[in-house]
Amino acid sequence: MKRLLFALPLLVALIIGGFAIWGLSGGRDPSALPSVLISQPVPQLDLGPIEGVDRPGLTTADITKMEGIKLLNVFASWCAPCRAEHPNLTRLGQEEGLTLIGINYKDKPEAAATWLEELGNPYTALGSDYAGRAGIDLGISGVPETFIIDADGIIRHRFAGPVVGDGLKRFMDALDEVRK
């Protein structure tokens, strides 16, 4: 009993140390934020179309009505990583039969229109979020961010950062998880 008591501080130190090692090692990203929106329906959005772009705006009701898995992509023409991920998202939409929904974050309509003309417009619906309020409702920390929404209109995954390279692989894994 007494020996056990003497081992107690060591045990506590081991537990705390083990937790620290777990926290510092492995492929975990300590700055990654959990999203509170996972397993929640899409928050109430009501965004008008981008001026000069031939796509309707979007509301949460519209998104819920759409069939199959949807990718809600928040992007801006001034964001270089958005440009990098654009071909990947376009390809994903075509090859995997996903519906792409875009939110144009804090962007001038003309700039967004030119950007979409140049790179192609894979989006079924496009909302303009000039003030960034939809971004706050979605809890984003920057662009690009992509949400995977399942057939029932529930947000299943939040992906912060561009869907390229290693990110594309992780995104595909998340997509497979949602499809299960």
Looking up tokens 């009501």 gives 46
- Local structure of residue 42 (DSSP, 8 states): P
Helices 166-179 + 80-95 axis angle, to 10: 40
Name the β-bridge partners of 102: 73, 126
DSSP-assigned letter for residue 69: -
The helix (H) or strand (E) run that includes residue 127 is strand 125-129
Minimum separation from the CB atom of position 35 to other proteins (A): 7
> Nearest approach, Cβ of 28 to other proteins (angstroms)?
15
Of 98 and 160, nearer to other proteins (C-beta) is 160
* Shortest Å, Cβ 56 to other proteins: 25
Q: Which is nearer to other proteins, 14 or 151 (CB)?
A: 14
By beta-carbon proximity to other proteins, the closer residue of 5 and 180 is: 5
In the complex, the residues that contact other proteins under the rule CB under 8 A are: 2, 5, 8-9, 12, 31, 33-36, 43, 106, 131-133, 135-142
